[in-house]
Amino acid sequence: MSVPHPYWLRDNCPCADCRDPRGGQKLFRIGDLPDGLTAVETAEDAAGLTVRWSDGHRSHYPAGWDAPAGPDERTEHAKRLWQAADFARGLPEADWAAYLADPEERTAVLAAVLRSGFALLRGVPAEERRVLRVARSFGYVRETNYGELFDVRVEPDPANLAFTSAAIAPHTDNPYRDPVPTLQLLHCLRNDCAGGDSGLVDGFRAAALLREQDPAAFAVLARTPVPFRYRDRGTELTAERPLIGLDPRGAIREVRFNDRSTRTAALSALDPAELDAFYAAYRRFAAIVLRPELRLDFRLAPGDCLVLDNTRLLHARTAFEPGDGTGGHRHLQGCYADLDSLSSTLAVLRRGTAVLDELEALFEGEGSGEYLGEAVTLAAHMLQAAALARAAGAPPALVAAALLHDIGHFRGSGRELMAGTDNRHGESAAARLAPYFPPAVTEPVRLHVEAKRYLCTAEPGYADRLSPASVHTLAVQGGPMTPDEAAAFAAHPFGADAVTVRRWDEAAKDPSAPIPSFAEFRPLLMESMHQSAFAPPRR
């Protein structure tokens, strides 16, 4: 019996000996697999593929395990290439306060940076150093020789054109750095000069146009490393990279374009014909970059913060009247950051959205069925519990716990319990929620069954008030606690919260009570998730 590509298949064995179940790290070395590995037995059905290997190992691959990934998100294939007219109906922008308060707004802004190469945050307080806080809302500041942040304004004795009032042609920043900063932020503190407007050009679009119109020129730029340099008293940065960087399959992955920093004297080593071809291609690309229809012009107002992909977008500004002490001034603060962290933050936000979508579908599907003989549906029961928690002014984590306390009954698991098998639905719900929610949510959920057993022991008369279904399940779940068990439970850090949830649980079986919608609780649920991804200002 054989399977195609045995090493690939075996490399992806998802068993707990091969992959750490927590983070998915692979636990063996590719060279640990024996030479001549083959499958000696395979079985495939709707649940997936099972393989017994020539070295005795067994693997089970769930259906869909090998779904191909989307395109590399850093290449042109994952982008929306644009020209100015594509934004006739408005820029990708958001209000800073909404961005901070609403994870879906954050998702939209970060997705725009990945897809269109930029987004504009409005209303970021026009205060010094705020740009750092914007960067930390999705990633980490890349400190450079310019500092954690840099000021873009007219300086008395500038070493760099940026610090004059002159126009600056479209360029990417810091091409002389490797790794180049993949993100740039520019926060406008003041802009009341005549002139000083901003411009953006999609460098991937410009490169794609060059490829379309002059494939040979495109190929020359992609294969010619160009030396870039920046030099001041304490700095001498050099990098040698092509103007158009491709992935190994030929997709556009990076553009570096900055006339000011080229150090082309060093190109003298090129073959003479190649040198002429390079200059013809360079001038042709430069002409495309300057096409008016590619350039998106707009004006930064105080409080605007532009976030842009510095591996793709070129930015520019028009000349302005420099401030003279009586007239206007233009002052931006900028910093650098990196795309990988932004992308991570976006993925985790989407993970949160995805789990809420899944929960909402369960509430609206399976949850609308019978709830273990009670007079309300399972969904109505949990939604009522959450409404009671909300009405009691409980903190968000506890409202979330009340809302989600019985999700362990989903997937038909509740029937097992009624049939006399403890389905341990507190534990299973907590395990399902743990990747997304902190212990303040998952622990009261995990312990809410134990809380019933505790109250039967600790609170006289409690057992008498249980519903008939609850009395039935109590026995399956272990009956009332012993006094020692009850004392241990009372001392548990989340014991009291579990008891609180339990009381809402008992009260949430009223067929006449109003039932809120799951959607109402989505913002609160997002807010209750792990802080690392959802509380933007990390410090």
Least distance in angstroms from the C-beta of 238 to a second copy? 7
Least distance in angstroms from the C-beta of 68 to a second copy? 4
Q: What is the contact mask toward a second copy in residues 512 to 531, using x (rule: CB under 8 A)?
A: ------------------xx
Q: Toward a second copy, which CB reaches closer, 118 or 437?
A: 437
| The one segment of 8-16, 380-388, 479-487, 488-496 that binds a second copy by CB under 8 A | 8-16
Q: Binding to a second copy by residue 261, rule CB under 8 A?
A: yes
Q: Binding to a second copy by residue 24, rule CB under 8 A?
A: yes
Q: Binding to a second copy by residue 454, rule CB under 8 A?
A: no
CA 260, 266, 271, 273 torsion-angle sign: positive
List the interface residues with a second copy, window 217-256 (CB under 8 A).
222-225, 227, 229-240, 242, 247-249
Least distance in angstroms from the C-beta of 451 to a second copy? 26
Q: Toward a second copy, which CB reaches closer, 16 or 67?
A: 67
**Distance (Å, whole) CA 173 – CA 182:** 9
List the interface residues with a second copy, window 33-72 (CB under 8 A).
33, 65-69, 72
Least distance in angstroms from the C-beta of 352 to a second copy? 11
Q: Binding to a second copy by residue 282, rule CB under 8 A?
A: yes
Least distance in angstroms from the C-beta of 436 to a second copy? 8
Q: Give me the phi and psi of 181, to 5 degrees please.
A: -65, 125
List the interface residues with a second copy, window 169-188 (CB under 8 A).
169, 177-180, 182
Q: What is the contact mask toward a second copy in residues 317 to 356, using x (rule: CB under 8 A)?
A: ---------------------xxxx-xx--xx--x-----
Q: Give me the phi and psi of 278, to 5 degrees please.
A: -60, -45
Q: Binding to a second copy by residue 31, rule CB under 8 A?
A: yes
DSSP, residue by residue, 336-385? EE-HHHHHHHHHHHHHHHHHHHHHHHHHHTGGGSB-TT-SSBHHHHHHHH
Angle at 520 between CA 516 and CA 499, to 5 degrees: 70
**Distance (Å, whole) CA 273 – CA 399:** 72
List the interface residues with a second copy, window 374-403 (CB under 8 A).
none
Q: Binding to a second copy by residue 458, rule CB under 8 A?
A: no
Residue 341, judged by CB atoms within 10 A of its CB (0-12, 13-18, 19+), counts as middle
**Distance (Å, whole) CA 251 – CA 73:** 11
Q: Binding to a second copy by residue 292, rule CB under 8 A?
A: no
Torsion of CA 124, 129, 132, 137, to 10 degrees: -40
Residue 255, judged by CB atoms within 10 A of its CB (0-12, 13-18, 19+), counts as buried
Q: Binding to a second copy by residue 11, rule CB under 8 A?
A: yes
Least distance in angstroms from the C-beta of 377 to a second copy? 32
**Distance (Å, whole) CA 151 – CA 245:** 29
> What sections of 118-271 are H helices per DSSP?
130-136, 203-213, 215-223
Q: Binding to a second copy by residue 129, rule CB under 8 A?
A: no
